[in-house]
Structure 1
Amino acid sequence: MNKPVSSSQQDVILAILRGELRLDDAAGRLGITRRALSNLKRRYLKSKLPVLSGEIQAPLDAPAKVMRDRWGVVHIAANAVADCYTALGYAMAQDRLWHLDFQRRQAHGRLSEILGPGHLKADRLHRTVGLTKAAESTRLSDEATVVLNAMSDGINAWMETDHPRPVEFDLLEYEPEPWSPIDSIAVWKWRWWMLTGRLDNIAISEVARRHLPPDLFEIFMSIEAGEETIVPARREAEVGGFDSVEGSNNWVVGAGRSSSGKPILASDPHNPVWHPSQWYQAQLTAPGMDVIGAIFTGTPGVYIGHTRQTAWGVTNHTASMRDLYTEAVTQDNPEVYWESGDWQPFEVESEEIKVRGQDSYLLTICKTVRGPIVNEFVSQVDETPNPPLSLKWVGSEPFSGFESMLSLHRSKSVSDVLVALEQWPCPALNMVFADSSGRIGYHAVGHIPRRPVTWHGFRPADDPSHVWEGYYSFAEQPEWVDPDADWLATANNPPWGGRGPYMSLGNWSDGFRYRRIRERITSQETLTPEDVGQIQGDIYHARAIELAPVVGEMAKKERNKRLREIGDLLLEWDGAYAIVLVAPSVFTAFWEHWLRRVASERFSEGVVSLASDRAGGVARRLL
């Protein structure tokens, strides 16, 4: 039996992992060979793995069972919902304790405390936005309170065991604090902010509004492939263009198109490869609930998943849930702003941010009645600095949305799903769903503010016509249930056609990804689960299929031999982004350069990078 790793040996191993010691130097310091050192390091790391079998004492009212399948996915069975979530918290802490701590530090603006000044700007942002205060003010239903308390009990029960902490705590030399329901809410609100904040999207619109005449502004704000709408429309979508090939996709085929006679649903959020993953997969079984799917780590709800009778998937529905307002101030007194016909003092808060390896940072947050001043986090849109910009964001409201997720966990039909989704506050999402009876549907969800004035860019704070007037009702939002075509899909693309007030709120993606999904689904009368799954691996880019021949013909007319060869390359290409092909790199390089070239015709060098991201509609028209 191997001896435990001594404290001096552990210090050397940690120095290796931190990059402070070379292997030869470390082996020499311990007086052992490199092979022995490798074995020693393996023993130390193995000692950090949790024990995943046997019986343990936990704060439960009755026994619960936690099983892991061959993929490591947790399956929990309990006789009460609270016990089920205690077990979930315990298992999540076993598998992801440091990840949990990272998630909550990120939300609370405390990463610099353990990771140093490189995370200070992110900490300032999340504190300025006020994720912690929003979490502390959140009102929960009785059921959500029970669930969050139970999950916190489970996480803390694992932390109270004498099992060694994950290696990250040793590397960073600190101990985790007890978990609380506020942590889960803050982590969830960080997810909201990640999907709905994106302040530079507003800055891009402001750049265009300032620098372009009205006719060019309308073209600039147009969208590529606007005919590809989620709900069929007589007119193509005319606003909201923003190129986001990395966005998310989901789709569902109904019983009539399925080889099994049951709907088949797929959902791909297209998140970056993070280690560990932001998702924690689990099955939760308790009286009235049997659900499995992807949970955002640190929270209790299955975000993408299914019960025995229903399934759901999501993409980002990019209707704006925030606004930036230009505040009127005076040089004579920078501590006041103009509000309701008088000068009002900014509300000022100070927060200390601890920073590893250096002195603490004192953050000063100035607030108006709309929200905090966020200039530090918004790109400059002109040669002169931006005016004071205040942020109003739906996520600051005192709700969590966990009630909606818990209702989804109990759903047995499309009707149940719709009832659950009506409670969903944030983020704004495109939900597709299905049930075992064969019904399918789509509904946009989230509290989308109703603005009396359609506007792009920074809104004037002193104009009452820009004050929010409640939210669009659930019935007013885009939806399509039981379509005759027997399939549905979304890809961050426009939900409707035209240019109405709701559509003008969106930063919709181009329709190219949706087009490929539509083409794949409608190319077959009947699809198997394998057929539906293979769409996730589709490597054809609809923009390239459409435009590469155009660019190729242009290149063929050039005098330069190399350009003519590139023209042949693009004309022979079918639009597949296969790793062995050169054409995808050529076309991508051309498109990125072309966007900048188009933007630079009308925008100054300082804002070209901002403007080029949204120039796809114009760039496509010119070609």
Structure 2
Amino acid sequence: MLVSGLVVILLIAGSLAAWLHWRAHACLPQLDGAIQVAGLRAPVEVSRDARGVPHIRARSLEDAVLAQGYVTAQDRLWQMDLSRRLAQGELSEILGKRTLDLDIENRKLGLAQAADRAVPEIDAQSREVLAAYARGVNAFIASHKDRLPIEFPLLRYQPRAWREADSIGVALNMAKRLNTSWHTDLMRERLRSKLTPQLYADLFPDRSPLDHPVAEPVAGPVRVAHPEASGALPSELPSTKSSCRFATPAKHENVMLSEAKHLCYFNANAGMLRFAQHDISGQMADVDPMLATLAEPADGFDFALGSNNWVVSGAHTQSGKPLLSNDPHLSHSVPSVWYQVELEAPGLHVAGVSLPGGPLVVIGHNDRIAWGMTNTGPDVQDLYLETFKPGDPNKYLVKGRWIDAEVHEEHINVRAAVDVRLTVRATRHGPVIGEDGKYSLALKWTALQPRALAFTFLRMNQAQNWEQFKDAIRGFTGPEQNMVYADVDGNIGYYAPAWVPIRKR
């Protein structure tokens, strides 16, 4: 009996392994032969190099982008669907309670509504590009219902049709990832309430050694003029060889910063903020009771961030042509954040990386120009403390008057758990992201403002010179990027376009 039972178990395990092997291979992209793709106006050639990167050649821009949507879905459909669900606050529908907090956050922010609002405001040609990309994705979904990537059958669901707004949602995810700073505002408020003004100023200086980079290490401190000094009052900043120490004692009143003049600002910043976040749920109440509900744990909170890019004029190169290097520091993931592609069609020949779920190329080059992007990271978010009316949570105080908040209900499907009904409120400043009875916090963020989501990549991809490139990116609203540029004529350039708030103080 024991032997026969073991045989049955082995047969079941073998059958399951065989099915998984077959299922995994059945959804691999077709790399050879002809594929009938609905919506194409003419044949399109797709060849893949040794690394699997698709090179797409089409007779029209629309066909090239449609094919891009199709082949991206071949390789990354589940990643694309996760990105779409992330923006829409629908991860819990397939992943359960573990993603519920994230879904609630994005429902409160209203990323899905912002993406829907953006589509009609995009220029007609760019909107057609988004529509063509969506047609390509949907052509793949429709023709592979029984051969979808293995994650879909394992989680037992089918992807919905792709929409233009879904591509905007993917871009919004990146904007949130690169420009979320309101957590830091809360941490600063926490520290301001506990530290002396001088110590707080040391932790958050208005200048850094990186404002005055040096080509080579220097022997002593770098001396620079304080930007607010009216005379020649210098401030000493650490040289590249200086050292610093940072202490994180157990209690606030004993916080010590050794050698404050030669403070390694960023390391101290990171350590101090981690310290401020320790047991934050109780201590944030010292600033305001409701802030405690918004504080996030210190795990993963790190200021050791930063990308780099540079461009060198041909006057300083052996070839006489410019050199451009671009290294955006984004977290590692499998699959990658980026998707490499080459697109060739009348009026377009570009190669580089795209965001899975978005058309064209974000960072790359065409026949005449090259460009790169790294995050600038301006402060484009502000928090507002709103007073809501006791007994009526839908009215808040503005200049002595109670006015109606914008209110709507959200329904979040949660796999293997009870669904969640969420009341979402927004004030004149923006969505309410935290509530505690009488008080609430509203977030004002440039990405959620009217007409804040432009689509400039078509003109960027087609630009042939510096003037055309500048004209294209003037409409870029964010997240702000350090854009470096080089062209075959030897020109180099830098531009950092975005919407950045102009504050009264």
Per the shorter chain, which TM-score range? 0.7 to 0.9
Secondary structure of the residue aligned to 1:101 is: helix
Q: What is the rounded CA distance, in whole Å, between the counterparts of 2:341 and 2:202 in structure 1? A: 46
Q: Which moved more, 1:350-359 or 1:205-214?
A: 205-214
Q: What is the rounded CA distance, in whole Å, between the counterparts of 1:114 and 1:25 in structure 2? A: 35
- Partner in structure 2 of residue 105 of structure 1: 85
Moved over 6 A (4+): 24-27, 236-240
Q: What is the rounded CA distance, in whole Å, between the counterparts of 1:29 and 1:189 in structure 2? A: 48
Q: What is the rounded CA distance, in whole Å, between the counterparts of 1:397 and 1:207 in structure 2? A: 28
* Residues 524-572 of structure 1 deviation map (CA, whole Å, 9 limit, x = unaligned): xxxxxxxxxxxxxxxxxxxxxxxxxxxxxxxxxxxxxxxxxxxxxxxxx
Shift of 1:32: 7.0
Query: Which amino acid is the alignment partner of residue 307 of structure 2?
Result: S
- Partner in structure 2 of residue 168 of structure 1: 151
Confirm whether residue 397 of structure 1 aligns to residue 377 of structure 2.
no
285, 288, 299: which one aligns with 2:358: 299
With the length of structure 2 as denominator, give the TM-score of the two structures: 0.77
- Partner in structure 1 of residue 169 of structure 2: 186
* Residues 148-177 of structure 1 deviation map (CA, whole Å, 9 limit, x = unaligned): 110010001111114611100111001111
CA contact (8 A) 2:181 2:381 kept: no
295, 308, 325: which one aligns with 1:266: 325
Q: What is the rounded CA distance, in whole Å, between the counterparts of 1:412 and 1:234 in structure 2? A: 40
Shift of 1:293: 0.9
- Partner in structure 2 of residue 284 of structure 1: 343
- Partner in structure 2 of residue 351 of structure 1: 410
Shift of 1:450: 0.7
Shift of 1:265: 1.2
Confirm whether residue 227 of structure 1 aligns to residue 205 of structure 2.
no
Shift of 1:363: 1.2
Shift of 1:341: 3.6
Shift of 1:247: 2.2
Confirm whether residue 375 of structure 1 aligns to residue 456 of structure 2.
no
CA contact (8 A) 1:227 1:237 kept: no
* Residues 129-162 of structure 1 deviation map (CA, whole Å, 9 limit, x = unaligned): 1111001111110011110110010001111114
- Partner in structure 2 of residue 580 of structure 1: none
Confirm whether residue 83 of structure 1 aligns to residue 63 of structure 2.
yes
Q: What is the rounded CA distance, in whole Å, between the counterparts of 2:5 and 2:344 in structure 1? A: 52
CA contact (8 A) 1:144 1:402 kept: no
CA contact (8 A) 1:140 1:400 kept: no
- Partner in structure 2 of residue 619 of structure 1: none
- Partner in structure 1 of residue 123 of structure 2: 141
Shift of 1:229: 6.0
Q: 1:399 to 1:69 in 2, by over 3 A?
A: farther
Secondary structure of the residue aligned to 1:267 is: strand
Q: 1:186 to 1:398 in 2, by over 3 A?
A: farther
Shift of 1:33: 8.1
Secondary structure of the residue aligned to 1:358 is: coil
Q: Which moved more, 1:90-99 or 1:24-33?
A: 24-33
- Partner in structure 2 of residue 199 of structure 1: 182
Shift of 1:257: 2.3
Confirm whether residue 56 of structure 1 aligns to residue 38 of structure 2.
no
Secondary structure of the residue aligned to 1:445 is: coil
Q: 1:310 to 1:129 in 2, by over 3 A?
A: same
Q: What is the rounded CA distance, in whole Å, between the counterparts of 2:227 and 2:487 in structure 1? A: 30
Q: 1:44 to 1:300 in 2, by over 3 A?
A: closer
Q: Which moved more, 1:385-394 or 1:79-88?
A: 385-394
CA contact (8 A) 1:229 1:236 kept: no
Secondary structure of the residue aligned to 1:375 is: strand
- Partner in structure 1 of residue 287 of structure 2: none
Secondary structure of the residue aligned to 2:99 is: helix
Q: 1:273 to 1:108 in 2, by over 3 A?
A: same
Q: Which moved more, 1:386-395 or 1:83-92?
A: 386-395
Query: Which amino acid is the alignment partner of residue 168 of structure 1?
Result: E
Q: 1:398 to 1:81 in 2, by over 3 A?
A: farther
Q: What is the rounded CA distance, in whole Å, between the counterparts of 1:68 and 1:229 in structure 2? A: 43
Q: What is the rounded CA distance, in whole Å, between the counterparts of 2:149 and 2:204 in structure 1? A: 49
* Residues 351-391 of structure 1 deviation map (CA, whole Å, 9 limit, x = unaligned): 11000001101111121111111127xxxxxxx99941101
Query: Which amino acid is the alignment partner of residue 153 of structure 2?
Result: D
Q: What is the rounded CA distance, in whole Å, between the counterparts of 2:455 and 2:407 in structure 1? A: 34
Q: 1:213 to 1:246 in 2, by over 3 A?
A: closer
* Residues 380-414 of structure 1 deviation map (CA, whole Å, 9 limit, x = unaligned): xxxx9994110111111344755321111011222
Q: What is the rounded CA distance, in whole Å, between the counterparts of 2:360 and 2:44 in structure 1? A: 19
Secondary structure of the residue aligned to 1:217 is: helix
Q: 1:359 to 1:37 in 2, by over 3 A?
A: closer
Q: What is the rounded CA distance, in whole Å, between the counterparts of 1:217 and 1:390 in structure 2? A: 25
421, 425, 431: which one aligns with 1:362: 421
- Partner in structure 1 of residue 258 of structure 2: none
Query: Which amino acid is the alignment partner of residue 403 of structure 1?
Result: F
Secondary structure of the residue aligned to 1:327 is: strand
With the length of structure 1 as denominator, give the TM-score of the two structures: 0.63
- Partner in structure 2 of residue 447 of structure 1: 499
Query: Which amino acid is the alignment partner of residue 280 of structure 1?
Result: Y
Shift of 1:447: 0.5
Query: Which amino acid is the alignment partner of residue 208 of structure 1?
Result: L
Structure 1: state its 5+ residue gaps. Answer: 1-23, 377-383, 454-623
Q: What is the rounded CA distance, in whole Å, between the counterparts of 1:180 and 1:159 in structure 2? A: 13
CA contact (8 A) 1:375 1:386 kept: no
Structure 2: state its 5+ residue gaps. Answer: 215-222, 229-236, 238-264, 271-302
CA contact (8 A) 2:181 2:379 kept: no
Confirm whether residue 422 of structure 1 aligns to residue 474 of structure 2.
yes
Shift of 1:429: 1.3
Q: How does 1:142-161 map to 2 (within 5 A)?
A: 142-161=124-143
CA contact (8 A) 2:387 2:438 kept: no
Q: What is the rounded CA distance, in whole Å, between the counterparts of 1:400 and 1:80 in structure 2? A: 29
C-alpha RMSD of matched pairs (Å)? 2.8
Q: How does 1:474-513 map to 2 (within 5 A)?
A: none
Q: What is the rounded CA distance, in whole Å, between the counterparts of 1:372 and 1:337 in structure 2? A: 13
Shift of 1:26: 9.7
Q: 1:422 to 1:27 in 2, by over 3 A?
A: farther
Work out the number of aligned pairs and report it. 420
481, 488, 491: which one aligns with 1:436: 488
Secondary structure of the residue aligned to 1:153 is: helix
Q: What is the rounded CA distance, in whole Å, between the counterparts of 2:154 and 2:476 in structure 1? A: 40
Shift of 1:210: 2.9
- Partner in structure 1 of residue 109 of structure 2: 129
Q: 1:423 to 1:349 in 2, by over 3 A?
A: same
Secondary structure of the residue aligned to 2:173 is: helix
Q: What is the rounded CA distance, in whole Å, between the counterparts of 1:322 and 1:451 in structure 2? A: 11
Shift of 1:69: 0.9
Q: 1:121 to 1:55 in 2, by over 3 A?
A: same
Query: Which amino acid is the alignment partner of residue 198 of structure 2?
Result: D
- Partner in structure 1 of residue 200 of structure 2: 217
Q: What is the rounded CA distance, in whole Å, between the counterparts of 1:53 and 1:148 in structure 2? A: 27
